Structures are given as C-alpha cells and as structure tokens.
Structure 1
Amino acid sequence: MKTIANLAAALLLATAAFAADVPAPAPPAEGTAAPKFNLPSQDSPSVSLDQFKGKWVVLYFYPKDFTSGCTLEAHNFQRDLAKYEAKNAVIVGVSEDNVESHKGFCTKEGLSFKVLADTAEHNVATNYGSVMVHDGTTYASRNTFLIDPNGVIRKVYLKAKPATHSDEVLADLDALQAKK
C-alpha cells in the first residue's frame, strides 16, 4: 500500500510540473548569427534562412493563426509590406500551426508573405528562445528578430505589441540601414 501511495504522489508531482508554465530558453543575442531554419510554409515545402541571403529578414513568431492579436500583427506587416520590400527586407512569420492552418489564415487575411509551420518539436522557436508552454500546450512567443543581409541578428523584440510592432520594426530598420 505504501508503494502505491508513493507512486501516486510521484505521478501527482510529475503532472503538476508539466502543467506549470515552463520558461523559454534565452533568445539569441543581438550581434550573433541567426540560427538556421528550414520549414514548410503555406505555399512551399521548404523555406530556409539561406534563401534570404542578401536581404534583411523580419522573422516574427506569433502564438496562433486566427486569433485577434496575431491577426492584427499580420495585417500590419501586410499593410507595410511594400515599405519593407523597398528597404530590401522580407517578412517571415512563424507559429506552431500546421501548413493547412497557415493556408487558410493567409487566404482569409490576404497575407502574401511567408508563414512557416514550426510543428512537432518547435525546434526553430526553441532555437530562437521563442517558446512558451502554458498548461501543457506549447505556443510560439510573440518575439521578432531583425536579421541583416549577412545573417546576423541586429535587433531582438520580446513580447511585441501587435498594434505598433510593424511601425517599430520599420523605424529600427531605417536606423540600422542609415548606419551602413
């Protein structure tokens, strides 16, 4: 009977540990090489960081397709897409949603930039310190990385605000490009 009680207590503790929020690993620092990635998007089986060599990359992580904050953030990046393109920059979104969800999200919301599916082990979000676990469910944190044409992270945005984030990134991109 004592063994059963000990096993039950251990199981209860293990369950509680998995249900608690788990802190994400630290994101890569500004001035370091951006972690490589290769993920499917809504319209391509394979999108990698190497494909964007020579361009600025706005790599933004968001929790979930079709949610209010994520939709607002995506709309603002889409609204400003021509401004980014004029600055030799591409927008790339990443969440744990699958390719089919991304296809529906991009179609419904009129998004023309790449949205990548970091499913299963969330390796890319983990490499970028952009994973949050809440009540046993894993989501991408709302973090963004501004990567220069040589693959170096120039700006890190943690817990970005969807309503103003695109404007903030554009201003920082202007400032960084003015330094060169």
Structure 2
Amino acid sequence: MTVETGKKAPDFSIEATNGEKVKLSDYKGKNVILYFYPKDMTPGCTTQACDFRDQHENFSELDTVILGVSPDPLSKHEKFIEKHGLPFLLLVDEDHKVAELYDVWKLKKNFGKEYMGIERSTFIIDKEGQLVKEWRKVKVKGHVEEALAYIKENLN
C-alpha cells in the first residue's frame, strides 16, 4: 500500500502509551494528526511535542486527535510524556513497520554517518479515514501552527 493524499490512510495496530494497542481506524469520526519524529528527548523532537501540547486544546476543539510515532520503546515514551506533560498518545514503532507503511523510514546522513531513521513528517487524516494533507522533511518552527490552520480552514 502506498501513502497518497486523497486516498484512504493505511491502517495499523500498534502499542501506545495508554497500555493498549491502537488502530488508526479506532479514530474514525475524528480528524487525526499522525506525526512521525526521530527520537524522544532530543531538542527538535521536544520542541515539536511541546508545540503540539501547547495547541492540544485548540486541536481538540476541532475534533482532532494527535498521535506521535517514533521507534523509541514504551519506557522512553512514558518518560518523555511525564517530563513534558504531553496530553496525547505516543505510539511505539520499534520495528518501524508503521514508519515504513507511511514511507518515512529513510536513509539519513549526519556528521558523515549514514543510518536508517525517521524523516520528520506529519499526516492529517480526516474523519472518514482519508489522508488529506502531508508534510515531509518537516521543519519544527511554525509547523504545528501551520497544521492547526490547515484543519481550521479545511476540516471544520
């Protein structure tokens, strides 16, 4: 299955920080922000998570759920949530199957080293389960506000 705007978003079942398996299809009837980020507790990922936290109420008012996905284990996600007061679920994608499903598991280069990792990306899925917007290679500054504005203008 390929990820394509205007098509049904790929469903998945994955462990979440609420101790349950979460499926994307569980959220039918709500808009979903599915955001992929490289690693808990790093500066860019912390800024992004806190930006989503700070706008959480605004997203909720627009009937929108936020789900964060990274390859970190559950214990690290739980510490991240506790340290920063994150009011949304983080999903455990240690085997990067969901990242691969959404084509965000990429070859990356950093300080001359090559490795596989998450390409910071955000997907907006509407109440019917359709992928309506995607951002790839996300720059953190201003991104959450841009996503909120998109939902206000297009899915309200």
TM-score, structure 1 normalization: 0.80
Specify the alignment match of 1:104 in structure 2.
79
Specify the alignment match of 2:54 in structure 1.
79
Specify the alignment match of 1:170 in structure 2.
148
Cα-to-partner distance string for 1:1-55 (whole Å, 9 max, x where unaligned): xxxxxxxxxxxxxxxxxxxxxxxxxx61210110001111122230111111100
Unaligned ranges ≥5, structure 2: none
**1:61-72 alignment runs, 5 A limit:** 61-72=36-47
Contact 1:76 1:163 in 2 (8 A): no
Distance in 2 of aligned mates of 1:109 and 1:53: 28
Distance in 2 of aligned mates of 1:51 and 1:177: 19
- Identity, in percent, stands at 36
Distance in 2 of aligned mates of 1:114 and 1:139: 21
**Counterpart code for 1:154:** V
Distance in 1 of aligned mates of 2:20 and 2:115: 25
TM-score, structure 2 normalization: 0.92
CA-CA distance at 1:119 after TM superposition: 0.9
Name the structure where strand makes up a greater proportion of residues: 2
Answer with 1 or 2: which has the greater Rg: 1
Specify the alignment match of 1:32 in structure 2.
7
Contact 1:65 1:102 in 2 (8 A): yes
CA-CA distance at 1:138 after TM superposition: 2.9
Secondary structure class of the residue paired with 1:132: strand
Distance in 1 of aligned mates of 2:139 and 2:100: 21
Distance in 2 of aligned mates of 1:175 and 1:98: 35
Specify the alignment match of 1:125 in structure 2.
99
Distance in 2 of aligned mates of 1:101 and 1:87: 29
Contact 1:64 1:139 in 2 (8 A): no
Unaligned ranges ≥5, structure 1: 1-26
Contact 1:132 1:138 in 2 (8 A): yes
Secondary structure class of the residue paired with 1:72: helix
Distance in 1 of aligned mates of 2:98 and 2:114: 19
Specify the alignment match of 1:14 in structure 2.
none
Name the structure where helix makes up a greater proportion of residues: 1
Distance in 2 of aligned mates of 1:44 and 1:156: 28
